[in-house]
């Protein structure tokens, strides 16, 4: 039985004071034990320590990105080991903003996935198609290529201790959510791509998830939770998403 996982991607939002306040509200709301989901918070790098210091029992720490390199002269980069030092357990890799704005291709994303896994972090691998790709009927082809780039590395137990997030690019930050049926179709396809590991791997949906649409998405058999951007910055809304799987 796969547990529901809800991960917050705070992106480059907020201040230290904002992060502290949001955490107080999240801890209070989530520690009541009423929400059955696992919860991960991925703050901006400089606030990892702040969040790690204030995180409650009900919440785990994640990063939004990491370097594919273990250490060295890579100005501005952050390694998996550094994230572990701060208590991170998860790292998002291949978010569509990293792919489109910072030129991360499938091979680099796969290398980041390997770096995270090799160090003992749980990668949250983001995959998903653009609007043009969906309209051209290429959704499954694009997602398969993104997954196969990781498979090609031949890592031991490639999909063990790993999470996949299906995030259609056209649904991220736009207010346009994929319908539960559209998301389910791709989630089921991804699960098939993972082979034997498919039945155990958590596959999250991401793209304008809100309190109002989380429950209908989570009700689909292959949707195991959500990666949440905008709505994760509002405590009450995010707590409702975390509890939507109950
Ligand atoms: C995201 O950035 O991963 C995301 C899903 O954003 P939003 O929820 O704002 O669409």
- In the chain, the percentage of residues whose pLDDT exceeds 70 is 100
Whether 111 lines ligand 1, by a CB cut-off of 6 Å, is: no
pTM over 0.95: yes
CATH number corresponding to 5-243: 3.20.20.70
For residue range 46-89, list pLDDT tens digits in order: 999 999 999 988 899 999 999 999 999 999 999 999 999 999 99
Asked if 19 and 53 touch (Cβ cutoff 8 Å), the reply is no
**What local confidence, expressed as pLDDT, does residue 191 receive?**
98
Provide the pLDDT confidence category of residue 177 given band limits of 50, 70 and 90: confident
**What local confidence, expressed as pLDDT, does residue 42 receive?**
98
5, 6, 7, 9: which to mutate for ligand 1, most atoms within 8 A of CB? 9
Residue 154 pLDDT more than 90? Answer: yes
**What local confidence, expressed as pLDDT, does residue 32 receive?**
82
Query: What are the domain boundaries of the chain?
Result: 5-243
Whether 226 lines ligand 1, by a CB cut-off of 6 Å, is: no
**What local confidence, expressed as pLDDT, does residue 57 receive?**
85
The verdict on whether 187 is a catalytic residue reads: no
User: What's the 3-state SS for 95-147?
Assistant: CHHHHHHCCCCHHHHHHHHHHHHHHCCEEEEEECCCHHHHHCCCHHHHHHHHH
């Amino acid at each position: 039985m796969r547990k529901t996982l809800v991960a917050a991607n705070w992106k480059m939002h907020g201040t230290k004071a904002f992060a502290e306040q949001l955490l107080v509200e999240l801890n209070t709301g989530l520690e009541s034990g009423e929400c059955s989901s696992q919860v991960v918070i991925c703050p901006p790098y400089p606030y990892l320590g702040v969040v790690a210091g204030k995180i409650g029992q009900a919440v785990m720490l994640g990063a939004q990105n990491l370097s594919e390199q273990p250490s060295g002269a890579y100005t501005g980069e952050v390694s998996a080991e550094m994230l572990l030092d701060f208590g991170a357990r998860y790292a998002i890799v291949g978010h569509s903003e990293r792919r489109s704005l910072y030129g991360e291709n499938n091979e680099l994303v796969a290398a980041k996935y390997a770096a995270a896994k090799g160090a003992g972090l749980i990668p949250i691998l983001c995959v998903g198609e653009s609007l043009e790709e969906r309209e051209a009927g290429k959704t499954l082809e694009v997602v398969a290529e993104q997954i196969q780039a990781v498979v090609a590395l031949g890592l031991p137990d490639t999909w063990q201790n790993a999470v996949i997030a299906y995030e259609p690019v056209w649904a991220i930050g736009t207010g346009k959510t994929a319908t539960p049926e559209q998301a389910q179709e791709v989630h089921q396809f991804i699960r098939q791509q993972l082979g034997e590991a498919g039945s155990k791997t958590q596959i999250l949906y991401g793209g304008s998830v809100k309190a109002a649409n989380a429950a209908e998405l989570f009700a689909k058999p292959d949707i195991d939770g959500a990666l949440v951007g905008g709505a994760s910055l509002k405590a009450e809304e995010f707590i409702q998403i975390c509890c939507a799987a109950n």
